[in-house]
């Protein structure tokens, strides 16, 4: 009965440690969940930035497609002139003809850090063995104390009063 109790208590302790380590630091644990939430927040912020860029480009596209003044201004920047206009080029000025559209920066998904499953299982097994050894040594100490307590001396000869089986 006592041996079965020792095994059950040790199994409970080992299982509790395995669950605790897996729940906090395992692959699907709290630590990995926090890392994934942070990645989600960053991706959401980047998606908002890209949406703003998309809205800006859509507005610019619509203006280039339908607004004659914008079309004429863009054509002048590209070097086109209307009939009757005269082009005056000034030397020494920096001509900025490059158009640079910001499209956002790519982000790679990063695998969250976590303890491997084998580590969680080994920690549970170690806790099982440590608890079992502790309870076994505790039982030996209790039995040893009971034997010393029941020790009777008769004329210098130690006699032990042990229960009969």
DSSP states of 92-157 as a string? TSPP---------------PPP---HHHHHHHHHHHHHHHHHHHHHHHHHHHHHHHHHTEEEETTE
pTM metric for this prediction: 0.57
Helix (H) or strand (E) holding 52, with range, is helix 30-66
For the chain, the first-to-last Cα distance in angstroms comes to 15
pLDDT in tens, 91-139: 766 655 556 666 667 778 888 888 999 999 999 999 999 999 999 888 8
pLDDT in tens, 1-17: 678 888 899 999 999 99
């Amino acid at each position: 009965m006592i041996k079965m109790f020792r095994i059950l208590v040790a199994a409970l302790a080992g299982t509790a440690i395995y669950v605790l380590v897996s729940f906090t630091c395992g692959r699907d644990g709290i630590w990995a969940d926090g890392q994934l939430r942070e990645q989600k927040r960053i991706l959401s912020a980047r998606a908002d930035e890209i949406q703003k860029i998309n809205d800006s480009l859509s507005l610019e596209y619509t203006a280039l497609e339908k607004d004659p003044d914008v079309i004429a201004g863009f054509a002048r920047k590209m070097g086109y002139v209307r009939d009757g206009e005269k082009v005056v080029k000034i030397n020494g000025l920096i001509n900025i003809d490059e158009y640079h559209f910001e499209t956002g920066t790519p982000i790679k998904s990063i695998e969250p850090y976590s303890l491997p499953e084998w580590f969680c299982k080994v920690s549970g097994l170690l806790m099982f063995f440590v608890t079992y050894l502790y309870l076994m040594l505790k039982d030996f100490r209790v039995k040893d104390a009971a034997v010393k307590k029941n020790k009777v001396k008769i004329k210098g000869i130690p006699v032990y009063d042990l229960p009969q089986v």
